[in-house]
Amino acid sequence: MIVFRKDLHFRTKGEIDIIDITYEVEKVVSESKVKDGTVTVFVPGSTGAITTIEYEPNLIQDFKDIIEQVFPRSFHYRHPVNGRSHVRASSIGPGVTVPISNGRLTLGTWQQIVFVEFDTRPRSRTVIVQVMGV
């Protein structure tokens, strides 16, 4: 059994910045030498999220628009400054797990792994990528 971890580091632009991290996750999986297993992609913190989406400009804008409709800025959040950031991130979730088969992620053809920044300001972020398998 192999357990391999690597951290990704990057800066975000602030609220609802969506960053495709698929290529970086694929590189970590390749570096791990795991042929069959899983990769977990996780953001520590309560105002960032990890999910999958087709990383296409119209879908990215649709995603941003829906987030604004479901979690509007105008709502009275009781947590000062960035309550909406916390609520938005917790609704999406801090991580995903993807199966690995023959050394490759088993993502769908148009499916990418993305980090979503929900904090109200630009941030330096760390995302943990942990690969487990044989």
pLDDT of amino acid 118? 98
The CATH number of the domain where 123 resides is what?
A: 2.60.120.460
In this model, does residue 6 exceed pLDDT 90?
yes
pLDDT (average), residues 48-57: 98
List residues bridging with 128 in a β-sheet.
7, 42
Distance CA 119, CA 115 (A): 12
Reported as a single tens digit per residue, the pLDDT across 104-123 is 999 999 999 999 999 999 99
Reported as a single tens digit per residue, the pLDDT across 54-85 is 999 999 999 999 999 999 999 999 998 899 99
Q: Calculate the alpha carbon distances from 58 to 33, 63, 120, 134 in Å.
A: 35, 9, 23, 38
Residue 74, domain extent: 2-133
Reported as a single tens digit per residue, the pLDDT across 27-44 is 999 999 999 999 999 999
Q: Is 78 left (phi over 0), alpha (psi -120 to 50) or beta?
A: alpha
In this model, does residue 25 exceed pLDDT 90?
yes
List residues bridging with 117 in a β-sheet.
17, 48
Number of domains in the chain: 1
Q: Calculate the alpha carbon distances from 70 to 12, 25, 76 in Å.
A: 22, 29, 13
